[in-house]
């Protein structure tokens, strides 16, 4: 950065001061604009129903209560069962964890081959695989349903996991391939002369430097899979549904009083894991996306 | 014993012939430098020797063993790369021992070897650092250490000094030469730098467009270049190539040099085997190195090989020990290496002495040397 640009002398001119203030004003307004929905959700989720009925949407909760959270987790009715969203939350975990890990590991191996062990036609293979990034979800629904049926995996968690792995591979392969092409080919040559083979080079040389791209791949896949609604609603039913589908059903359950506080609490619960992932690993995400060079 | 025999080696990428029938033999302990402009195939040849690329046809032997089709790890070679190719996640110690570990050498043996190499290259205090924490010169040492630790039959160097700054490059060059004297292992070294080639090599192979233009000792190549390309590539500043025509004078074949201002000088041509009649009128290129053109001094008058010509100085470049003086001869820019005290100023003229005892003649059509 050019320090002169930020020097005090420069800022003291009236125009620059005005400019500075204007920039901050815009940023603050934008931040408020994006934060308000979240704030309203959190406020509403800790209000009592009475509070909601009598107050207005953006007012502070007059009475702080975690009842709605308990209810959303444990007792809220989704369809005809009234066990809250906890089962579906764990469904999503059971889908996301294996799908993310398997698609990331296979993507790493794919990327390694496509960048460091090119074979005749590997570029064509890679291009075909890349097409997967551009295929809309909707197109593969019917053929996928048919295949899951034939494999006996229809409406099961493993089936949904499989769908996410297959669909995610295009992205994870792209991530890892683009990361590994920045690692000098000479490293592989050196390792080959040192007597290391395909797997030894992968595990000892490539994987230890791959942490940034692993983080990118894991964040990307986790948000994609956790937030997925379409595959969940199509390829699962009843108690194998992921949390996104359950949330939809909870909010749309038409019997009884509409409990806004429970809806909001459930929605926040559904969004928490992806938010947590971003907060914990967000800086690696940015760093990994921009990671060009591994200097050796 | 590890000699290296390369016989009729060819390499094609698709329809592109990168190497056409390369044959080189060097004896055990020799230092071979492959030199040439980029794209001449020298790195490809090195990769073929290493086994990192498959050979299209021909045979490569290391010692008595035919290695043409065996894997790099079984060839008993070690390689130093241009980018050093140190494993970024491992510390120096691990980098050096990696090749030994994959070969399942017992731990105490490895430790002994690492210690030996580290002391040889004076990198003992770097052993626990990572490559990212090292300077360019230190990385270079570690890369050599990794190669040395294996104690291979042949070392391969792929432009190992080109990432270093000028001063360090000269230092490391000396160290590589010392190292070769100490360990005595056969070395194949690729570079595009003719000075590295001259200073390091026992034998130089100059390559161009996938063929070897000339193979010989540095002295041999410097003094008897086989073609204009070789003559121009080796030596800095480059050899002068002056276009001339052979004429007959008093029954002898001579060539005429004309300086600016119409000063003339006839230089005899010796050693041409063909009949004088045939050569008369033939266009040739006189190759004469800058150091063979110096300020004329009277004591050389009796020397039959030195000819005087008064030349106009166009430009001078003082380098310290010598001053390079540029002039026009036969309308060709010519560089002369003059003692700084004797160099005239630009615009002035001075008497140059042309020592033709080591001058050479080239055929302008074939670009090959005719004498």
> H-type helices in chain B, by residue range?
42-50, 92-102, 107-121, 136-149, 166-183, 194-200, 218-223, 228-233, 276-279
| Coil/strand/helix, residue B143 | helix
Q: Which has more confidence, B302 or A259?
A: A259
Last residue of a domain, one of B205, B233, B261: B233
User: What single DSSP character describes residue B238?
Assistant: P
Mutation to test the B interface, candidates A180, A190, A196, A209, most B Cβ within 10 Å: A190
Which CATH number is B286's domain given?
Answer: 2.40.50.140
Are the CB atoms for A99 and A172 separated by under 8 Å? no
pLDDT of amino acid A108: 96
The reply to whether B370 falls in a domain is no
pLDDT of amino acid B273: 54
Number of domains in chain B: 2
Q: Answer whether A194 sits within 8 Å of B86, measured CB to CB.
A: no
User: Does A118 lie at the interface with B, CB-CB under 8 angstroms?
Assistant: no
The reply to whether B205 falls in a domain is yes
The verdict on whether omega for the bond into residue B217 sits within 30 degrees of 0, i.e. cis, is: no
Kindly list the residues from chain A whose CB atom is less than 8 angstroms away from the CB atom of residue B89: 205, 208-209
Give me the torsion for CA of B58, B64, B66, B67, rounded to 10°: -110
Residue B272 has pLDDT above 70, yes or no: no
User: Does B72 lie at the interface with A, CB-CB under 8 angstroms?
Assistant: yes
Number of helices (H), then strands (E), in chain B: 9, 21
Nearest CA in chain A to B139: A296
Q: What percent of chain B has pLDDT over 70?
A: 97
Are the CB atoms for B274 and B371 separated by under 8 Å? no
pLDDT of amino acid A8: 56
| Coil/strand/helix, residue B93 | helix
User: Does B132 lie at the interface with A, CB-CB under 8 angstroms?
Assistant: yes
Q: Are residues B284 and B226 in the same domain?
A: no
DSSP B96-135: HHHHHHHTT--HHHHHHHHHHHHHHHT-GGGTTS-GGGS-
pLDDT of amino acid B275: 61
Torsion-angle region of B209 (φ positive above 0: left; ψ -120 to 50: alpha; else: beta) = left
The reply to whether B238 falls in a domain is no
Q: Which has more confidence, A257 or B277?
A: A257
User: Does A198 lie at the interface with B, CB-CB under 8 angstroms?
Assistant: no
Q: Are residues B186 and B310 in the same domain?
A: no
The reply to whether B126 falls in a domain is yes
pLDDT of amino acid A294: 38
Whole-angstrom distance, CA of residue B31 vs CA of residue B29:
7
SS3 labels along chain A: CCHHHHCHHHHHCHHHHHHHHHHHHHHHHHHHHHHHHHHHHHHHHCCCHHHHHHCCCCCCCCCCCCHHHHHHHHHCCECCECCCCHHHHHHHHHHHHHHHHHHHHHHHHHHHHHHHCCCCCHHHHHHHHHHHHHCCHHHHHHHHHHHHHHCCCCCCHHHHHHHHHHHHHHHHHHHHHHHHCCCCHHHHHHHHHCCCCHHHHHHHHHHHHCHHHHHHHHHHHHHHHHHCCHHHHHHCCHHHCCHHHHHHHHHHCCCCCCCHHHHHHHHHHHHHHHHHHHHHHHHHHHHHHHCCCCCC
pLDDT of amino acid A270: 92
Whole-angstrom distance, CA of residue A270 vs CA of residue A265:
9
The reply to whether B239 falls in a domain is no
Q: Are residues B125 and B21 in the same domain?
A: yes
The whole-angstrom distance between B234's CA and the closest CA on chain A is: 29
Residue B295 has pLDDT above 50, yes or no: yes
pLDDT of amino acid A9: 56
Residue B95 has pLDDT above 70, yes or no: yes
Of A193, A204, A205, the CB nearest to B72: A193
| Coil/strand/helix, residue B68 | coil
Q: Answer whether A193 sits within 8 Å of B88, measured CB to CB.
A: no
The reply to whether B240 falls in a domain is no
Q: For A10, how many CA atoms within 13 A lie in the half-sphere containing its CB?
A: 8
pLDDT digits (tens, 9 = 90+) for B136-187: 889 999 999 999 998 899 999 999 998 888 898 999 999 999 999 999 999 9
Q: Are residues B261 and B224 in the same domain?
A: no
| Coil/strand/helix, residue B293 | strand
Last residue of a domain, one of B204, B233, B262: B233
Q: Which residues contact B146 (CB under 8 A, 6 or more apart)?
A: A190, A194, B78, B80, B86, B95, B96, B98, B99
What residues pair up with B287 in beta bridges, in sequence order?
B241, B360
pLDDT digits (tens, 9 = 90+) for B224-236: 999 999 999 999 8
pLDDT digits (tens, 9 = 90+) for B11-63: 998 889 999 999 999 999 999 999 999 989 999 999 999 999 999 999 999 99
**Closest residue by Cα to residue B51 from B29, B32, B74:** B74
Chains A and B form CB pairs within 8 A to the count of: 69
CA angle B19, B23, B26 (to 5 degrees): 130
Q: Are residues B152 and B219 in the same domain?
A: yes
Whole-angstrom distance, CA of residue A113 vs CA of residue A117:
5
The whole-angstrom distance between B233's CA and the closest CA on chain A is: 28
Cβ-based neighbour number of residue B317 at 10 Å = 12
Q: Which CATH class is domain A86-290?
A: mainly alpha
pLDDT of amino acid A3: 47
Whole-angstrom distance, CA of residue B144 vs CA of residue B138:
10
Q: Are residues B204 and B290 in the same domain?
A: no
Structural domain spans, chain A: 3-73, 86-290
Which CATH number is B147's domain given?
Answer: 3.40.50.300
Q: Are residues B251 and B198 in the same domain?
A: no
Q: Are residues B198 and B66 in the same domain?
A: yes
Q: Are residues B28 and B155 in the same domain?
A: yes
Whole-angstrom distance, CA of residue A26 vs CA of residue A21:
9
pLDDT of amino acid A293: 37
Among the ranges given (A64-78, B62-76, B121-135, B331-345), the one the predictor scored with the smallest mean pLDDT: A64-78
pLDDT of amino acid B226: 94
Q: Which has more confidence, B72 or B276?
A: B72
Q: Are residues B217 and B97 in the same domain?
A: yes
Q: Are residues B229 and B156 in the same domain?
A: yes
- Domain carrying residue B343: 247-362
Q: Are residues B42 and B119 in the same domain?
A: yes
ipTM score here? 0.83
Kindly list the residues from chain A whose CB atom is less than 8 angstroms away from the CB atom of residue B146: 190, 194
Kindly list the residues from chain B whose CB atom is less than 8 angstroms away from the CB atom of residue A294: 88
pLDDT of amino acid B9: 94
Whole-angstrom distance, CA of residue B155 vs CA of residue B66:
17
R_g over Cα of chain B: 25
Of A190, A195, A209, the CB nearest to B85: A190
Q: Answer whether B102 sits within 8 Å of A295, measured CB to CB.
A: no
Predicted confidence pLDDT, tens digits, chain A (296 residues): 444 455 555 556 888 888 999 999 999 999 999 999 999 999 999 988 888 888 787 788 888 888 889 988 988 888 778 888 889 999 999 999 999 999 999 999 999 999 999 888 999 999 998 888 888 888 889 999 999 999 998 888 999 999 999 999 999 999 999 999 988 899 999 999 999 999 999 999 999 989 888 988 998 999 999 999 999 999 988 888 999 999 998 888 766 778 888 899 999 999 999 888 888 887 777 666 555 433 33
Nearest CA in chain B to A196: B102
Residue B106 has pLDDT above 60, yes or no: yes
Distance of CA B10 to the CA centre of its chain: 22
Average pLDDT taken over every residue of chain B: 90
């Amino acid at each position: 950065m050019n320090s002169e640009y930020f020097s005090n002398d420069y800022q003291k001119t009236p125009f620059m001061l005005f400019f500075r203030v204007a920039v901050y004003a815009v940023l603050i307004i934008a931040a408020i604009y994006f934060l308000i929905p979240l704030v309203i959700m959190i406020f509403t989720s800790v209000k009592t129903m009475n509070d909601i009925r009598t107050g207005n949407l953006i007012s502070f909760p007059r009475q702080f209560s975690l009842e709605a959270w308990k209810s959303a987790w444990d007792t809220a009715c989704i369809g005809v069962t009234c066990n809250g969203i906890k089962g579906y939350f764990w469904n999503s975990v059971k889908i996301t964890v294996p799908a993310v890990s398997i698609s990331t590991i296979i993507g790493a191996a794919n990327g390694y081959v496509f960048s460091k062990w090119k074979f005749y036609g590997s570029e064509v293979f890679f291009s075909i695989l890349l097409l997967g990034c551009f295929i809309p979800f909707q197109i593969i629904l019917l053929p996928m349903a048919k295949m899951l049926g034939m494999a006996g995996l229809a409406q099961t968690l493993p089936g949904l996991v499989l769908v996410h792995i297959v669909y995610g591979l295009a992205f994870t392969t792209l991530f890892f391939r683009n990361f590994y092409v920045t690692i000098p080919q000479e490293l592989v040559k050196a390792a080959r002369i040192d007597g290391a083979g395909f797997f030894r080079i992968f595990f000892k040389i490539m994987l230890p430097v791959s942490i940034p791209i692993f983080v990118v791949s894991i964040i990307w896949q986790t948000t994609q899979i956790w937030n997925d609604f379409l595959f969940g609603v199509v390829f699962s039913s009843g108690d194998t549904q992921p949390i996104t589908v359950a949330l939809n059903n909870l909010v749309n359950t038409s019997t009884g009083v509409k409990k806004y506080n429970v809806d909001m609490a459930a929605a926040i619960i559904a969004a928490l894991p992806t938010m947590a992932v971003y907060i914990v690993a967000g800086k690696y995400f940015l760093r990994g996306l921009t990671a060009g060079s591994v200097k050796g | 014993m590890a000699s290296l025999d390369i016989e009729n080696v060819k390499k094609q990428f698709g329809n592109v012939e990168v190497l056409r029938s390369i044959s080189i033999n060097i004896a055990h302990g020799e230092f071979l430098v492959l030199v040439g402009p980029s794209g001449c195939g020298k790195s490809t040849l090195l990769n073929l020797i290493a086994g990192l690329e498959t050979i299209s046809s021909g045979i490569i032997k290391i010692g008595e063993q035919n290695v043409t089709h065996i894997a790099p790890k079984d060839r008993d070679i070690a390689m130093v790369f241009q980018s050093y190719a140190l494993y970024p996640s491992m510390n120096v110690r691990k980098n050096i021992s990696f090749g030994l570990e994959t070969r399942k050498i017992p731990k105490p043996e490895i430790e002994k070897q690492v210690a030996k190499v580290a002391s040889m290259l004076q990198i003992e205090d770097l052993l626990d650092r990572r490559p990212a924490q090292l300077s360019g010169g230190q990385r270079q040492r570690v890369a050599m250490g990794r190669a040395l630790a294996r104690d291979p039959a042949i070392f391969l160097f792929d432009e190992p000094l080109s990432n270093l700054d000028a001063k360090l490059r000269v230092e490391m060059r000396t160290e590589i030469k010392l190292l070769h004297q100490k360990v005595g292992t056969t070395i194949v070294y690729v570079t595009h730098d003719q000075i590295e080639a001259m200073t390091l090599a026992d034998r130089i192979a100059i390559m161009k467009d996938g063929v070897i233009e000339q193979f010989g000792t540095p002295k041999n190549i410097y003094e008897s270049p086989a073609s204009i390309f070789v003559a121009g590539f080796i030596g800095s500043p480059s050899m002068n190539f002056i276009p001339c025509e052979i004429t007959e004078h008093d029954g002898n074949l001579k060539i005429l040099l004309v300086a600016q201002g119409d000063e003339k000088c006839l230089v005899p041509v010796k050693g041409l085997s063909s009949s004088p009649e045939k050569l008369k009128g033939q266009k040739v290129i006189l190759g004469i190195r800058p150091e063979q053109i110096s300020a004329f001094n009277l004591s050389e008058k009796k020397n039959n090989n030195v000819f005087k010509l008064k030349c106009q100085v166009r430009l001078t470049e003082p380098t310290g020990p010598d001053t390079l003086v540029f002039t026009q001869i036969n309308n060709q820019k010519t560089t002369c290496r003059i003692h700084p005290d004797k160099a005239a100023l630009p615009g002035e003229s001075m008497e140059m002495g042309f020592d033709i005892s080591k001058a050479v003649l080239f055929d302008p059509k074939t670009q090959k040397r005719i004498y």
